[in-house]
Homo-oligomer: A and B are copies of this chain.
Amino acid sequence: MKKILNDPFSYAEETLKGLTRAYPQYYRLVEGTARVIARAGEPRQGKVGIVSGGGSGHLPIFTGYVGPGFLDACACGDVFASPSADEMAAAMRAANGGAGVLRLYGNYGGDVMNFDMAGEMVEFDDITSTTVLLADDVASAPLAEREKRRGVAGMVLTFKIAGAAAEAGLDLDGVTKVAQRAADGCRTMGVALSSCTVPQAGKPTFTIADDEMEVGMGIHGEPGVKREKLKAANDIADALLDPILADLALPRGERVTVLVNSLGATPVEELFILYNRIADRLGDAGLTIAHPLVGRYATSMEMAGASLTVLPLDGELENYLTAPAACAFWKV
């Protein structure tokens, strides 16, 4: 196992401990937990709280995006495993400023079950909560079955937009509606070039030949839509963009933001090579790119590969996307 770790069974805890030690200006470990992170300081009274959570191994997702203008708290599980309902409830309590809490997380069975249970648990603390499920992965189900799609890198954009809406003072209903609108717009498509190794498994999650790639693979190694020979960057960009554009069916003249994301090992150099083709193609389609992001925003540890997210913007979404925010991983 070519990883830097002490004990596979404490990988998540040690990661989160290091995160809070290195960046105490942003993050604190919630007392009585080992894997629940909240913003430094007390929750802001009267502000809607936003919680997320899910398996570890995707930094900066999920925990990295806790901070002003972003999430308030986050429950993390072991690598690629759901946190417990108790941990999620602890995150909700830590995020609660008396104005309700939005549960904003990826559409995965274990997370849905546990976050639903956590929502019931905190009702006893008089915490009202709503849910927006993030389901941006075009490859994971056809458009007609959107409720089956998984949440991947597009989650980051919805975190940012919802976080800014809460910071701006919208009430729980308002923040929930903005988050839902961003979530509804997000489309992501990924390609994997190599596997990662879950520490507790100790060997790569899947195998893939040296000359192959898998289009549409999920961020935990869920099967994609096709495995084929590794193509040139421009062809990979097309393979990511075509299903997104077909799904969104945008008229010319729209504004969109794009997120070109490395799954981990793929260097940002190669993301910029992809970006050239994506920008050309979106320009040809009459679309204007606003505030593109290129980098590592949602990873699968050391998996090689990349994903593309496209989110159509209106004035409100764009304002929230570009509003000030601070955490250790948000760069522009």
Contact = CB atoms under 8 A, between A and B. Distances in A.
Copies in the complex: 2
Interface stretch (A132-140, A159-167, A217-225, A227-235): A227-235
A274 to B, nearest CB: 6
Interface stretch (A12-20, A87-95, A113-121): A12-20
B57 A269 contact: yes
Contacts of A266: 3-4, 302
A112 to B, nearest CB: 24
A313 to B, nearest CB: 16
A81 B101 CA distance: 52
B59 A14 contact: no
A155 interface: no
Given A5-B232, A18-B272, 14 more contacts: A2-B193, A4-B236, A4-B271, A14-B276, A15-B269, A16-B272, A18-B279, A21-B276, A22-B275, A23-B332, A294-B328, A296-B296, A328-B331, A330-B331
Interface residues of A, number: 57
A6 interface: yes
Nearest to A3: B270
A276 B292 CA distance: 34
Contacts of A4: 193, 233, 236, 266, 270-271, 273-274, 306
A267 interface: yes
A11 interface: yes
Interface of A: 2-6, 11, 14-19, 21-23, 25, 56-57, 59-60, 193-194, 210, 230, 232-234, 236, 260, 264-276, 279, 292, 294-296, 299, 301-302, 304, 306, 328-332
Contacts of A268: 59-60
Contacts of A271: 4, 18
Contacts of A60: 268
Given A330-B331, A331-B328, A331-B331, A6 B296 contact: no
Nearest to A56: B269
Nearest to A64: B268
B269 A6 contact: no
Contact of A276 (B17, B57, B328): B17
Contacts of A292: 22-23
Contact of A18 (B6, B194, B274, B301): B274
Nearest to A235: B6
13 contacts: A4-B273, A4-B306, A5-B232, A5-B270, A14-B276, A15-B272, A17-B272, A18-B294, A22-B260, A57-B267, A296-B296, A328-B332, A330-B331
